[in-house]
Structure 1
Amino acid sequence: MSRDSRLLELDALRGIAAMSVVLFHYTTRYQQLFGHTSEPSVSLPWGHYGVNLFFMISGFVIFMTLDKTRSPMDFVVSRFSRLYPAFWAAVALTFLCTHWLGLPGKEVGLDVALLNLFMIHGLFGIPDVDAVYWTLQVELIFYALALLAFRMRWLGRVPLLLGILFTLSLVYFGFASLWGIALPWVFSQFLILKYIPWFGMGIVIYRLTRSAARPVGADIAVLLAAIGLLWLVESAQQAILAAALGALMWGASRGRLAVLRNPVLVWLGTVSYTLYLTHENIGWALLRKLQGAGMGVDVSIVIVLAIALVIAGLLTKLIEQPAMVWVRRWYQGRQKRGAALA
C-alpha cells in the first residue's frame, strides 16, 4: 500500500471526526443551549469525541512532519501556512454572520475579534468568536512542545518524554484531585495534560508504522499507559474509546481500511479544517432563523449542514489551499535568495 493511500485514509478519518463534531453541535449541543422547536430524529451526544480523534491524528501527522523537517523554521512556516490564513478568514466570516443573523450570548465586539486573530487569546481569558477555537490553542501548545523536542534532539526519547507527561497528568488530575490539592491551572494548561494521552497515542502509532528496524516494546508500553491513564483520570468509556480509535488509526496508517478511500470521505477530510472552524456559530444562527420561521427541525439541520459544507468547500478552495501554497513558495524563495547571497 502506498504512502499516499495511507494518508488518504487518515484524511478520511479527519473528515469523520469533523462531521461527528458538527452533528453533535447541530443536534445535542444546540438542544442544550437554545432548544430545537421539537426533538431531532437523530442526535449525536458522543460526537464531541471527534475532537479527541483530531488530537490523535495530530500526534501522528506532526511527528511524521518532523521526520521530514530540516529546521525549526521550516516547521513553523509549514504550520503557519496550514492554520492561520484559513483561521483569519473564518474569524472574519463568523464575526460578520453572527452579528448579521444574530446569536444571543455569542456575539463579541470587534476588539475581541481582532485579538482572536492571534489564536492564543484564550490563554489570556479573551472570549472566542467561536467556541471551537479552544482546540486550536491546545494544538498550538502541542506544536510548541513537539518543536522543542525536535530542537533539543529529543525525538528519539519520545517514550520517556511521554512517560513523564503521563505521570504529571496522573498527579494533576488523579492524586491532586483525590487529595484535594489545588495545583496551578497554568501547570495543566501549558503542558496540555488533559489531552496528552490522545496526542501521545497518535505519536506512538506513527512510530510503530516505521518500526521495522527497531524494538517496539517502549512504544507499546506508552500506548497501554495512555489508555490506562484515561481509565484512571477520565472514565472506562474514554479508555475503551481511545483503544478503539487507536485501532482504527493503526489500520488507516497501514493502508488497511480501503473503505476510507471513499471520495466523499476523502473530500470531507480535505475540508475538515474549514468546516470545523466555521460550522458552529454560523450554523446555530441559521438554525434559529430557519426554525423561527417555522421550518421543521430535521429539514433545517440538513439545510444548515449543506450550507456549512459549501462554506467549508469555498474557504478551502479559495483561501486555505492557495494561501498555503503562496506562503510556502514565498518562504522557499526567500531561502534560495539567502543561499545565493551567502
Structure 2
Amino acid sequence: MVKKPKLLALESLRGFAALAVVLHHFRYGSLLSENAFIRHGYLMVDFFFVLSGFVIALNYANRLSSPAELASFQRRRFWRLYPLHLFTLLIFLGIECLKYIFEQKTGIISNNPAFVVSDAKAFLANLFLLQGVVLSELGFNIPSWSISVEFWTYLIFALTVGLLRLPVRWCLVLAGGAAIILLALEGGRLETDPIFAIIRCVFSFFLGAWAASLHVRLPRKAAAPMAAAALTLVVLAIWGLGGGRAEILLPPLFAVTVVAVANLQEDTSLRRFLEWPSFVWLGTVSYSVYLTHSIVGWAVTQILRFGLKVPTHVAPDGDTVLTLDQGFATLVTLAAIGGVLVVSTLTFRFIEKPFLSGWPFGARAVAAREG
C-alpha cells in the first residue's frame, strides 16, 4: 500500500511552528522574540502534536490491524525520531563534560552545574525516550521531551485504533479524557509540569487524529476562507490566550486549521503561498530545527559571554540572559537562526535522511516491504 502524498501546505506550517519555538528559546532581547506571540511560542509544540495526529491517522488508521503491522509502524516511528535524538543527546553529554572541566579549572559554576540536572538518571531516561514520561526536571536537550511523549503516544494510537479496532470517534473520547485531566490538575494550562507531558500530547495528538476523519467531509470550496480565518485566529489566540487557563482551547483551533489547510484547492492563493519551495524546505528540515536549536543557542551564548564579554542579567523568571541593545540583539538573533538552518540542513542530510526508511543497512528492503 502506497502512503498518501505529503500535504506540502501543512509541511510549511510545521516549519513556521518550529521557527516560532526557536525564537521562543532565543532570548537575546530582540523584538523578533520579545513579543506576546513568541513568548507563548511553546504552544507550537501542541500544534506539532495535532499535526502529527492528523498525518499519522490519515496514513495509518486503516493499516494497523495486526501485531506485525503495529510492530512495523512503531519501528518506522523509532527510526524516524531516534537517530537525531541520540546525536543531540551525545552532543549535550559533551557539553556537560565541557562544563565540568571548566568548573574544575576556573571555579566558576554555571546556573545549572555540570551533571546535576543532566545526571545519570536523566541520561538513561533520554536514552530510552522516557524523559518526558518519568523525569520531574528535564535535562540534556530539553526540547526533546516532546519527542519522547509523542513516540509513546504513537503506540497508544496503534493499540487503540489498530489492534483494538476502536472506531475513530474514540480518538475524540481519549482527547476529551486528557482535557479533563489537564483542567483538573493544571487548570487548563498547556505549559504543564513534566509529569503531565504525556497527557498534554495525548490531548492534542488524538484531536488531530480525530480531525483526520473530517478531512474528506469539509467542502473544498469552504476551505480557503476557513483556513484564512483559522490561521488569523491562531495568531490572535496565541498572542492573547497564551500563558493562561484558556490555552486548552488552542489545540481544537489547531485541529480546525489543519483540516482547512489540508483541504485547500490547488488554485487558491493561500495554498500557493504555503507551498512556496522555501517554506516547504523549512518544514522538511523542521525536526532538525527543533532538535538542534538548543545546541546552536548554547554555542552563541558562550561566544557572546566568554568571547565578546557581553554582560548578563537575571530575567523576571530567574533565567540568566545576555544584556544586549535592541539592534545588536536582532543581529544576534538573525545570526543564530541562520546557524540553526545551516546545522539543520547538515543533520537532515547526514542523520535524518539515511534513516527515513528504517535502519540504513536494510532501508531498501524496509521501504519495499512497507511502502
Instruction: Name the SS of the counterpart of 1:246 in structure 2.
Output: helix
For 1:119, give the aligned amino acid. L
CA change 1:177–1:303 in 2 (3 A) is closer
Q: Write out per-residue CA displacement over residues 271-296 of structure 1, whole angstroms, 9 at most, x where no aligned residue.
A: 11111111124413422422551483
> SS of the counterpart of 1:289?
helix
1:92 equivalent in alignment to 2:106: no
DSSP 3-state at the match of 1:255? coil
The equivalent of 1:182 in structure 2 is: none
1:47 aligned to which of 25, 41, 60: 41
* Stretch deviating more after TM superposition (247-256 or 314-323): 247-256
Give, as a single letter, the amino acid of the residue that structure 2 aligns with 1:283: G
- Residue 128 of structure 1 corresponds to 139
* 1:204 aligned partner, one-letter code: W
1:154 equivalent to 2:165? Answer yes
Task: Specify the alignment match of 1:210 in structure 2.
Answer: 216
CA contact (8 A) 1:119 1:137 kept: yes
Aligned to 2:281, which of 267, 273, 281? 267
Q: 1:309 to 1:193 in 2, by over 3 A?
A: same
Unaligned runs of 5+ in 1: 28-35, 179-184, 213-230, 338-342
Percent sequence identity over matched residues?
A: 25
Separation in 2 of the partners of 1:336 and 1:20?
A: 36
Structure 1 contact 9–252 (Cα < 8 Å) conserved? yes
Measure how far apart 1:138 and its partner are: 1.8
1:72 counterpart = 2:66: no
Q: Is 2:250 the partner of 1:236? A: no
What is the correspondence of 1:243-258 to structure 2 with a 5 Å cutoff? Answer: 243-256=252-265, 257-258=271-272
- CA 1:60–1:48: 2 relative to 1, 3 Å: same
Alpha-carbon contact 1:106-1:281 (below 8 Å) kept: no
Residue number in structure 1 paired with 2:226: none
Larger helix proportion of the pair: 1
Structure 1 residue 302 corresponds to structure 2 residue 331:
no
Superposition map of 1:283-302 within 5 A: 283-290=297-304, 293=308, 294=310, 296-302=328-334
Q: Of residues 140, 152, 161 in structure 1, which corresponds to 2:151?
A: 140
Instruction: Show the counterpart of 1:22.
Output: 22
In structure 1, C-alpha distance between the alignment counterparts of 2:138 and 2:114, rounded to whole Å: 10
Query: What per-residue deviation string (whole Å, max 9, x for no partner) do you get for residues 51-80 of structure 1?
Result: 111011111122123136351122012101
1:278 to 292, 306, 309: 292
- Is the 1:291–1:297 contact (alpha carbons within 8 Å) kept by the matching residues of 2? no
Shift of residue 297 of structure 1?
2.0
Q: Contact (CA 8 Å) 2:174, 2:206: kept in 1 or not?
A: no
1:105 maps to 2:95:
no
> Partner of 2:173 in structure 1?
163
Asked if the contact 1:166–1:196 (Cα under 8 Å) also holds between the matched residues in 2, the reply is no
Cα shift at 1:200: 2.7
Distance 2:301 2:178 in 1: 42
Asked whether 1:323 is paired with 2:355, we answer yes
Q: 1:208 is paired with a residue of what secondary structure? A: coil
**Paired letter, 1:65:** N
User: Cα gap change, 1:98/1:285 in structure 2, threshold over 3 Å: closer, same or farther?
Assistant: farther
Kindly tell me: are residues 260 and 97 of structure 1, through their superposed partners in 2, closer, same or farther at Cα, counting changes over 3 Å? farther
Residue type of the alignment partner of 1:305: I
1:252 and 1:51 mapped to 2: Cα distance?
18
Q: Which is worse superposed, 305-314 or 113-122? A: 113-122
For 1:57, which of 18, 38, 51 is the aligned residue?
51
**What corresponds to 1:13 in structure 2?**
13
TM-score normalised to structure 1 length: 0.73
1:322 to 1:106, Cα distance in 2 relative to 1, 3 A: farther
Aligned partners of 1:78 and 1:328 also within 8 Å: no
* 8 A contact 1:275–1:312 mirrored in 2: yes
For structure 2, the 5+ residue unaligned runs are 103-109, 188-193, 219-240, 266-270, 311-323
Q: Structure 1 residue 145: deviation in Å?
A: 0.7
Amino acid corresponding to residue 236 of structure 1 in structure 2: A
Report the AA paired with residue 41 of structure 1.
L
Q: Distance in 2 between matches of 1:55 and 1:93?
A: 25
Partner AA of 2:20 in structure 1: S
Aligned partners of 1:122 and 1:128 also within 8 Å: no
Distance 1:76 1:10, change over 3 A: same
Contact 1:290/1:300 (8 A) holds in 2: no
